[in-house]
Chain A
Amino acid sequence: MNLHDILHMGGYAAYVWTTYALTLLVFGINIFASLREKTRAKNKIRQFLMSTNES
């Protein structure tokens, strides 16, 4: 298949590429959200440990 076929997808380009883009978006959101929660959790631990070290 040449590049034109891949991009055009036999006329269904909008449908096919939208779905794959959506999939990557959902994957990305999940990765981003779980990593963000990880930094939040680690920050909480850091805060807690520092407060207990002070006392």
Chain B
Amino acid sequence: MIPQWFKNYFFSLRAFYQTSSLLLPWLIAAFSVCFIYGLAGGLFLAPADYQQGDAFRIIYVHVPAALTAMAVYSIMAMSGLMVLVFRMKIAAICMTCSAQIGVWFTFLALVTGSIWGKPMWGTWWIWDARLTSVLVLFFLYLGFIILHSVLPNNSGRDRACAILAVVGVINLPVIHYSVIWWNTLHQGPTISKFARPSIAPAMLHPLLAMIAAFLLFYGIILLTRMRNEILLREIKSQWIKEEFSHELA
């Protein structure tokens, strides 16, 4: 069921370690390009919004953070599914490391969203559908991380956390749509201000670049953390001995 190329390059912990060391420089290069263009475009090149003025520039960090937070949760849940169905160790490592990174992006999305809200709606927090959904996502991440830290480090921990991730991702659309629906019922007059206007290309391209940059950053940190975890898990194996004995000698 699993393609052979995947097995060769990613499946075993050792193969993943070697493949990731080849991938990392490219990811870092791509991230640097996207991030610099995104920053320059977002802060300087894009014209100021006619409605929100220069405050709209927060979009260039808020939206990528929120999107990445959701994407990371999906990846986390898919890895969890791989753990439950195929019992893949590499998937368990990916799941745990993704959670540790995703929680930061969710936190960033919440704080930047809140800071954006102050000049826009006059309050530090507003119970609109999007921010509330991100808040729930934050709680889901925290729950996962806490469960992972409380459970003892044995074979059951990966599977239990995988179950939590899968249950969370199944519920996530339900929660998201119920929050949207709840928000339309209790809607205040401010929601129209936050409606998305049609966006000019000069504004759009830096946004896409920043989204790519955030996702690439997640990839870089994910691979780094996964490599660390692999080193710790495989500490007794022969290939670690070979790889590092020349380093220590």
Contact = CB atoms under 8 A, between A and B. Distances in A.
The answer to whether any beta carbons of A and B sit under 8 Å apart in the complex is yes
Interface of A: 1, 6, 9-12, 15-16, 18-20, 22-23, 26-27, 29-31, 34-35, 37-38, 40-42, 44-46, 48-50
Interface in B209-249: 217, 221, 224-225, 227-228, 231-232, 235-236, 240-241, 244-245, 248
Contacts of B111: 19, 22
Contacts of A22: 61, 108, 111-112, 115
A15 B221 contact: no
Contacts of A29: 104
Nearest to A12: B55
Which secondary structure characterizes the binding site on chain B?
helix
Interface of B: 39, 43-44, 48, 53-55, 57-58, 61-62, 65, 101, 104-105, 107-108, 111-112, 115-116, 118-119, 217, 221, 224-225, 227-228, 231-232, 235-236, 240-241, 244-245, 248
Contacts of A41: 228, 231-232
Closest 3 CB pairs of A and B: A10-B54, A12-B55, A9-B54
B248 A19 contact: no
Contacts of A49: 241, 244-245, 248
Contacts of A38: 224, 227-228
A42 B62 CA distance: 35
A29 B225 CA distance: 13
Contacts of A37: 225, 228
B235 A12 contact: no
A30 B44 contact: no
A42 B231 CA distance: 8
Contacts of B231: 41-42, 44-45
B235 A45 contact: yes
Contacts of A42: 231, 244
A15 B52 CA distance: 12
Contacts of A1: 44
Contacts of B53: 10-12
B53 to A, nearest CB: 4
A19 B104 contact: no
Contacts of B58: 15-16, 19
Contacts of A9: 54-55, 57
18 contacts: A9-B55, A11-B53, A12-B55, A15-B58, A15-B119, A16-B43, A19-B61, A19-B111, A22-B108, A22-B111, A23-B61, A23-B65, A26-B105, A37-B225, A37-B228, A44-B232, A45-B231, A45-B244
B225 A19 contact: no
